[in-house]
Amino acid sequence: METADLLKKVRKIEIKTRGLSSHIFSGEYHSAFKGRGMAFSEVREYTPGDDIRSIDWNVTARFNTPFVKVFEEERELSVVLLVDVSASGGFGTNKQLKQDLITELCAVVAFSASQNNDKIGVIFFSDKIEKFIPPKKGKKHVLRIIRELIEFKPENRQTNIELALKYLSSIIKKRSIVFLISDFLTENNYKDALKIANKKHDIVALRIVDKAEVELPEVGLIKLKDNESGKITWVNTSDKFFRKQFAVNHLKFEAEIKDTFNRSGIDATKIFTHENYVKPLMNLFKNR
């Protein structure tokens, strides 16, 4: 992509997602993701209604009038975007590709974090760790992340979520908010790694789904290609038995992934490529 085109695309995403972060998500984000605790700020004179347990007796004795300690939330957090950049992100049958939706979601989260003065970092993964950008603060850093999301070309095509979670635990020492963003289409077993990582960090799963993965359109004989393996299969979408088996397999996958998230104790939401992502994100933040 030419530099001018890249900058234009970055600017377009910035305008859209920064506005959403400022007017919609900022307050919900702040409420959903708490700081590490309360830190002492100052003392002030006691006023009726103050909790007597907050009285600073040393200062009170010195000035012969009651003073109370004031505490503020120790806000600073580190947020890590754990982003699936495997080849299945290039799939999309309606409105946009999965990877385009992932870029916007990452931008919204990054700007929301930045506006709350939190650090933001990124780990790109396929079936290897493709790139790590350590957490930092500031708009300039957020724009760098967006540029990387738009133009990054992964070396590998397949998905290994277990590897990504183990790398996260090894490289990020401080407890962080981690947004695991993926379609979770992998044969790799990541259940144990997810449980372990969620004990160290606060993991939130954003699952990206295309409508055609849920309900196969009836359009006759079509060629399907697995972007990750390159395997091509011809299927008859008008075949009732095939359509029924497709629906059964999908329901089984939905039950398995829901069970995985529940057993790991993580918050998760499903976001479709053809729908607006504002509502599922808002509901996720509100329900935390």
pLDDT in tens, 161-215: 999 999 999 999 999 999 999 999 998 899 999 999 999 999 999 999 999 898 8
The DSSP secondary structure of 232-282, one letter per residue, reads EEEEETT-HHHHHHHHHHHHHHHHHHHHHHHHHT-EEEEEETTS-SHHHHH
Same domain flag for 142 and 83: yes
> pTM of whole model > 0.85?
no
Specify if 64 maps to a domain.
yes
Which band of pLDDT confidence, cut at 50, 70 and 90, is reported for residue 37? Answer: low
Dihedral sign (CA 195, 157, 147, 209): negative
Quote the mean pLDDT of the chain.
Answer: 88
C-alpha distance across the termini of the chain, in Å: 39
Same domain flag for 88 and 191: yes
3-state secondary structure of 220: coil
Residue that has been written with the tokens 């040393």 in this structure: 58
Specify if 197 maps to a domain.
yes
User: The domain spanning residue 22 has which CATH number?
Assistant: 3.40.50.410
Which band of pLDDT confidence, cut at 50, 70 and 90, is reported for residue 25? Answer: low
Q: Is residue 97 within 8 Å of residue 91, measured between CB atoms?
A: yes
Share of the chain above pLDDT 70, in %: 92
Which band of pLDDT confidence, cut at 50, 70 and 90, is reported for residue 21? Answer: confident
Q: What burial class does residue 218 get, using C-beta atoms within 10 Å of its C-beta: 0-12 exposed, 13-18 middle, 19+ buried?
A: exposed
110: pLDDT strictly greater than 70: yes
Same domain flag for 49 and 143: no
pLDDT confidence of residue 223: 83
Q: Is residue 281 within 8 Å of residue 108, measured between CB atoms?
A: yes
pLDDT, tens digit, 9 for 90 and up, residues 72-84: 555 568 999 999 9
- Which structural domain range is residue 46 located in? 37-74
Same domain flag for 140 and 204: yes
Specify if 43 maps to a domain.
yes
Q: What burial class does residue 30 get, using C-beta atoms within 10 Å of its C-beta: 0-12 exposed, 13-18 middle, 19+ buried?
A: middle
Same domain flag for 282 and 189: yes
Same domain flag for 58 and 192: no
Cα(120)–Cα(39) distance, rounded to whole angstroms?
Answer: 22
Same domain flag for 46 and 146: no
Same domain flag for 23 and 154: yes
Specify if 172 maps to a domain.
yes
pLDDT, tens digit, 9 for 90 and up, residues 124-151: 999 999 999 999 999 999 999 999 999 9
Same domain flag for 145 and 122: yes
| Number of compact structural domains in the chain | 2
